[in-house]
Amino acid sequence: MASIDDDKKAAASAAVAEVQDGMLVGLGTGSTAALAIQALGDRVAQGLQICAVVTSEASGKLARELGIAILDFATIAQVDLTIDGADEIDSRCFAIKGAGGAMLREKIVAAASARMVVIADGSKRVDRIGAAKLPVEVLPFAIAYVMRVLMDMGAAPMVRDNYRTDQGNLVIDCHFADLEDPRATAATLAGIPGILGHGLFLDEVDAAYIATNGVVTRLERMGASD
């Protein structure tokens, strides 16, 4: 039986197979995304000609070490393909992201992408998202106010200890007892002054490669196929 790490590697390899010469690739953040970066680095070493943008300083450091050419996203208007992990994903391709704290940059890069694919082991596939912590990135100036509003929402918010994003902001992890209407929750969070971004990815994910016991399944937004 394949281990979780083996499944993550299998999913990463399947997603990286979508990358073609000449593409501009968005690289996500986190332990699973790092496996995709490593797989992409292997292909670059074999002659694949691509450039990339990254969603965190950590991903940029790893990509450069592997010989992947990195561009400044501030100069980029469109990305061909983004590959990233997820904390949860369901059959609607609704995802919760942000355990790695890069959800704001990840969402911006995803929005700029013609296609975004998520990679995950089978434990991240759920019937409906909502059990995982939902992180929000908050301007430090607004932290007390945002905490009060989130508590009023029943989000059971907790400020992530000793953590700042690459932008120097704080992260609050929310634990909603009921995420029955993710779109309504996303709209509410987006409307709170001081919240700069959140981990609900409801329209960004086009497909997911999910590996369970060594078998990779591709889940497309309109349905699933092997």
Q: Which residues are catalytic?
A: 106
Segments in 25-171 forming alpha helices (H): 31-45, 57-65, 103-111, 143-152
**∠ CA 88-135-92 to the nearest 5 degrees?**
30
Phi, psi angles (nearest 5°) of residue 211: -110, 130
Rg (CA), the chain: 17
β-pair type (207-212, 215-220): antiparallel
What is the H or E stretch that residue 187 is in?
A: helix 182-190
If one counts every other C-beta atom within 10 angstroms of the C-beta of residue 66, the result is: 16
CB contact burial 146-171 (16+ within 10 A = b; e otherwise): bbebbeeeebebeebeeeebbeebbb
For residues 185 and 176, what is the distance between their CA atoms, to the nearest angstrom? 10
For residues 80 and 162, what is the distance between their CA atoms, to the nearest angstrom? 35
For residues 202 and 199, what is the distance between their CA atoms, to the nearest angstrom? 9
